Structure formats: structure tokens, C-alpha cells
Amino acid sequence: MWNIIQHPDLSDQSPSTLLSTLLGMIPTGEKPDKWFQGLYLLKLPSELRGPLSTLKWEDVRQMGEHADILWGGTPPQQHQLYTPCGRANPGNQGGKVSQPQQEADQTCCQARR
């Protein structure tokens, strides 16, 4: 667990890539638990932590996939962050989200409620 705690934060990789790296540090035979999810969340920017921590996750990999959707798959200096279900976020250039992305967010969020 100590190696996970000491691992650097997100930096320039995608949230799911960071998650894969952290999952690889779990001892053989153990599964990611709520403590692991909490440590993973702490490695992410605060803009991602809020939306991700309000939803229930059966598998931490689902959290990583949703984090990628929120992050937009671009490096931090270029990302346009928005919250799920089309809610405006100040970090997203006026809160504008494309129609296809809004539909994807709504489907994703509805599946986790």
C-alpha cells in the first residue's frame, strides 16, 4: 500500500492509465477496496474528485473509465473539464458541452444512480 501512497499524482497521463499503474501495485490475490478507491481519488485533480466520489462504483475500473470521460482524454494543460449530465463547470469555457457528449454523460450517470 505504501508504494501506492508514494506514487506521483496524475501528471500528464490519463486517469485510467494512472489507475492501471496503481492496480499493478496491489499485492497478488488482493482486490481493490474502498481504501484503494480513496487513494486513487486523491491522485486525481480536485475537479474530478467531486463528480467521481458522488457516484457508486461496483468496480474501480468503471471509475477510471468515467474519469477519462470527465477529463476528456487530453493533457491537463489543454483539458476542458465538465461535470456529468451536462451541468456547467467553470473550468469548461462557459460550461458548453457538445450534444453527443451530453448524451453520453446522461447515459453514464443514469446507469450509476
Are 68 and 16 spatial neighbours (Cβ–Cβ below 8 Å)?
A: yes
Per-residue model confidence (pLDDT) at position 25:
92
Per-residue model confidence (pLDDT) at position 77:
43
Residue ranges of the chain with pLDDT lower than 70? Answer: 73-113
**DSSP state, residue 27:** P
- Per domain, the residue ranges of the chain are 2-111
Per-residue model confidence (pLDDT) at position 92:
41
Per-residue model confidence (pLDDT) at position 5:
84
Per-residue model confidence (pLDDT) at position 57:
86
CA distance 69 to 2: 28
CA distance 48 to 71: 7
CA distance 6 to 74: 24
**DSSP state, residue 110:** H
Per-residue model confidence (pLDDT) at position 90:
42
